[in-house]
Structure 1
Amino acid sequence: MALKKKPVTGMKDILPAEMAVREYVMNQIRETYGGFGFNSIETPCVEHIENLTSKQGGDNEKLIFKIMKRGDKLRLDTAETENDLADSGLRYDLTVPLCRYYSNNAATLPVPFKALQMGSVWRADKPQRGRFRQFVQCDIDILGDPTRLAEIELILATTTLLGKVGFKGYHVRINDRNILKGMASYCGFPEESFDQVFIILDKMDKIGMEGVAAELLEAGYEKEKIDQYLALFGSVTPDAAGVRSLGETLKDVMDPEMTENLAAIMDSVNSIATSQFDIIFDPTLVRGMSYYTGTIYEIQVDGFPGSVGGGGRYDKMIGKFTGMETPACGFSIGFERIITILMEEGFTVPGSTEKKAFLIEKGVSADVMTAAIQEAMDERAKGVCVLVSQMNKNKKFQKENLQKEGYTEFKEFYREALK
């Protein structure tokens, strides 16, 4: 039986042209985030199954690639459920592993701790444009800082990076889970129903205001409450003034400090940011991860469905490992989606090294080959990229392919003479 040459569904081979863009963006990430004081760390790609299924990852917990137990621990004859067969799994994000990492190493880490992670994660998801089953995530997190300085630094670092790789005119949508709860409470929804209400609200960008109203009505909520709830969203402007105005409306059900904190974050980012983007208050922003406890945000790029980045505050998650709550806040860029956009736009790596190709005819003498290699070494010493390769029969096709890889100059070496 012939072996399969195509990658597993939802995973892909990366060709040299894309790899060059990926490496460039990764270098920009390290340089930019390093300039903001973030420290690179690495966690294992395999995580304890108990950690991955702790009811903090939302729908991602349904998409885990589980790893079967090994050796005498794998007992197929007595297994009753899937979890009896698995004791670990491939990580579906970098946040759960980071919390375990911090809990295990906190004694040796500074406070606050600014972490940078880049690595592959795996989800048994339905593949689509910019979405794969194996993909790279890039996270920055600040652990141990309860103040809005953390959110401001995370937003500024992320938007500075996006500006460096050519993004502009995009939108940073921002909200707070406490404001979501305050609005629901103000309109009379019982606290035990909040999760269901927010799940429906999260569909706003897909089904619109009327669709949300219909689903809430179908779920059994009173039309008067639904109308009041949706009218409240329509009355809010998307700027810091709108946040403060909403805080005044909700002052009887929510601490005004919640809205003041969010408005202050928006004011600070607007006054300091150097990249071209809008920061917009979006009271319909929910984000699905149940571990978020405060500020949440997403990046929206016109013409691209879904977000290309997001994050928020998750102050209670580390406490599930240590028993002590630790303030935590993070921002993740959708690395694969950013690469997809750049590749579709024909992005070329700026300031690329000059690339030359030396093509050697088959059967040249040792002296000619040595001369060609020596000349290539001299060029390389000057910082030039030189490919030394055997000349193909179809030299024209060979050159066309090399030009696609960025080679602009060619030199040919033949059996008897140098041309």
Structure 2
Amino acid sequence: MALKKKPVTGMKDILPAEMQVREYVMNQIRETYGGFGFHSIETPCVEHIENLTSKQGGDNEKLIFKIMKRGEKLNLESAQAENDLVDSGLRYDLTVPLSRYYSNNAASLPAPFKSLQMGSVWRADRPQKGRFRQFVQCDIDILGDSTRLAETELILATTTLLGKIGFKGYTVRINDRNILKGMAAFCGFPEEAYDQVFIILDKMDKIGSDGVARELAEAGYDQDKINKYLSLFETVAPDASGVRSLGEALKDSMDQQQAENLAAIMDSVSQISTSQFHIVFDPTLVRGMSYYTGTIFEIQVDGFPGSVGGGGRYDKMIGKFTGMDTPACGFSIGFERIITILMDEGFTVPGKEDKVAFLIEKGVSDEVLNGAMKEAMEKRAKGGTVLVSQMNKNKKFQKDSLQKEGYTQFKEFYKDALK
């Protein structure tokens, strides 16, 4: 039986043209985030199954690639439950591993700690455009800072990066989980119902206000509460003044300082950023991860479904490891989605020196071959890119293919003479 040449469903081979773009973006990420003082770290791709199933990851916990025990620890005959077979899994995001990493290494890290982590994650998801079962995530996090400086720095760093790789006119949507809770409390929903209410609210962009009202009613909630709840969203301005006005309206249901904090973040970002984007208050923004405790944000690019980045504050997660809560806030860009957009737009890596291809006719003398290779080495020593390759019979097709890879100059070496 022939071996299968296609990759496993939901995973992909990366061709050289895309790899050039990926490496360029990764370099821009390291350079830009490094300029903001973030430290590169790395965590294992395999995590303890207890950490991955700690009810911190929302629906992602249903998508874990689980790893069976190994060697003598794996006993199929006596196993009665999954826990008898499984002790670890592939990470589904970088936030849970970061929290474990910080908990284990905090004494050796600066405070606050600004982390940059890039790496593959795995989810047994339904593959679609821009969504894979193995994909790269890129996270920046600030651990140990409870002030709005953390959110402001994260948004400024992320939008600066996007600006450097050519994105403009996109929207950063921002909200606060405390505002979500304040709105629900103001309208009389019981606290134990918040999660269900927010799950339904999160569908607003897909089913509209009428659809949200219908699903809330089907869930058994009072129509007066539903009407009062939805009317709040209709009157809120999408800027910092809207946040402050909403905070005033909800003063009996939440701490006004929480609204002021969010408004101040929006003001700071608007005044400081040099990138071209919109920052918009969106009180319908929920984000599904249950670990968020405060500010939340997402990035929306016109013409691309779903978000291309997101994050927020998760002040309770590290305490699950240490028993002591640590302020934490992070922002993740959708690396694969950004690459998909760039490739669809025909993006080419800017500022690269000309790439030269030396094509060698079959049968050239050692003197000609060695001379060509020596010349190539001299150009490489000066920082140039030189490909030395056997000349194909169909030279035109070969050159066309090399041009697609970015080669702009060609030098041909023949048995009798250099042409």
Q: Which position in structure 2 is the counterpart of 1:346? A: 346
Q: Which position in structure 2 is the counterpart of 1:50? A: 50
Please give the alpha-carbon distance, in whole angstroms, between the structure 2 residues aligned to 1:240 and 1:404: 47
**CA deviations over 1:145-192 (Å, ceiling 9, x no partner):** 000000000000000000000000000000000000000000000000
Please give the alpha-carbon distance, in whole angstroms, between the structure 2 residues aligned to 1:65 and 1:46: 10
**CA deviations over 1:44-64 (Å, ceiling 9, x no partner):** 000000000000000000000
5+ residue gaps, structure 2, are: none
Q: Which position in structure 2 is the counterpart of 1:363? A: 363
Q: Which position in structure 2 is the counterpart of 1:394? A: 394
TM-score (norm 1): 0.99
**CA deviations over 1:184-232 (Å, ceiling 9, x no partner):** 0000000000000000000111111111011000000011110110000
Please give the alpha-carbon distance, in whole angstroms, between the structure 2 residues aligned to 1:220 and 1:3: 54
Matched, 1:193 2:193: yes
Q: Which position in structure 1 is the counterpart of 2:220? A: 220
Q: Which position in structure 2 is the counterpart of 1:328? A: 328
Q: Supply the AA of the counterpart residue of 1:389.
A: S
Q: CA deviation at 1:132?
A: 0.5
State how 1:395-410 maps to structure 2 within 5 Å.
395-410=395-410
TM-score (norm 2): 0.99
Q: Supply the AA of the counterpart residue of 1:251.
A: K
Q: CA deviation at 1:109?
A: 0.8
SS at match of 2:117: strand
Please give the alpha-carbon distance, in whole angstroms, between the structure 2 residues aligned to 1:413 and 1:191: 77
Identity between Structure 1 and Structure 2 (%): 83
SS at match of 2:418: coil
Q: Supply the AA of the counterpart residue of 2:175.
A: N
State how 1:151-166 maps to structure 2 within 5 Å.
151-166=151-166
Please give the alpha-carbon distance, in whole angstroms, between the structure 2 residues aligned to 1:383 and 1:99: 41
Q: Structure 1 residues 408-417 or 291-300, which shifts more? A: 408-417
Please give the alpha-carbon distance, in whole angstroms, between the structure 2 residues aligned to 1:218 and 1:150: 40
Q: Supply the AA of the counterpart residue of 1:71.
A: G
Q: CA deviation at 1:411?
A: 1.1
Q: Which position in structure 1 is the counterpart of 2:182? A: 182
SS at match of 2:139: strand
SS at match of 1:257: helix
Q: CA deviation at 1:418?
A: 1.3
Please give the alpha-carbon distance, in whole angstroms, between the structure 1 residues aligned to 2:168 and 2:139: 20
Q: CA deviation at 1:379?
A: 1.9
Please give the alpha-carbon distance, in whole angstroms, between the structure 2 residues aligned to 1:272 and 1:115: 22
Q: CA deviation at 1:111?
A: 0.8
SS at match of 1:115: strand
Q: Which position in structure 1 is the counterpart of 2:108? A: 108
Q: CA deviation at 1:378?
A: 2.0
**CA deviations over 1:364-386 (Å, ceiling 9, x no partner):** 11111011111212222232211
Please give the alpha-carbon distance, in whole angstroms, between the structure 2 residues aligned to 1:175 and 1:89: 32
Q: Supply the AA of the counterpart residue of 1:372.
A: A
SS at match of 2:407: coil
State how 1:136-175 maps to structure 2 within 5 Å.
136-175=136-175
Q: CA deviation at 1:399?
A: 0.8
Please give the alpha-carbon distance, in whole angstroms, between the structure 1 residues aligned to 2:120 and 2:264: 35
5+ residue gaps, structure 1, are: none
Q: CA deviation at 1:396?
A: 1.2
**CA deviations over 1:210-256 (Å, ceiling 9, x no partner):** 11011000000011110110000111000000000000100011110
SS at match of 1:392: coil
Please give the alpha-carbon distance, in whole angstroms, between the structure 2 residues aligned to 1:379 and 1:34: 31
Q: Supply the AA of the counterpart residue of 2:302.
A: D
Aligned length: 419
Q: Which position in structure 2 is the counterpart of 1:295? A: 295
Please give the alpha-carbon distance, in whole angstroms, between the structure 1 residues aligned to 2:285 and 2:49: 30
SS at match of 2:412: strand
Q: Which position in structure 2 is the counterpart of 1:246? A: 246
SS at match of 1:408: strand
Q: CA deviation at 1:80?
A: 1.9
Q: Supply the AA of the counterpart residue of 2:166.
A: G
Please give the alpha-carbon distance, in whole angstroms, between the structure 2 residues aligned to 1:328 and 1:361: 61
Q: Supply the AA of the counterpart residue of 1:338.
A: I
Please give the alpha-carbon distance, in whole angstroms, between the structure 2 residues aligned to 1:394 and 1:81: 61
SS at match of 2:220: coil
Q: CA deviation at 1:413?
A: 0.9
SS at match of 1:325: coil
**CA deviations over 1:244-279 (Å, ceiling 9, x no partner):** 000010001111001000000000000000100011
Q: CA deviation at 1:321?
A: 0.1
Q: CA deviation at 1:83?
A: 2.8
Q: CA deviation at 1:394?
A: 1.2
Q: Which position in structure 2 is the counterpart of 1:263? A: 263
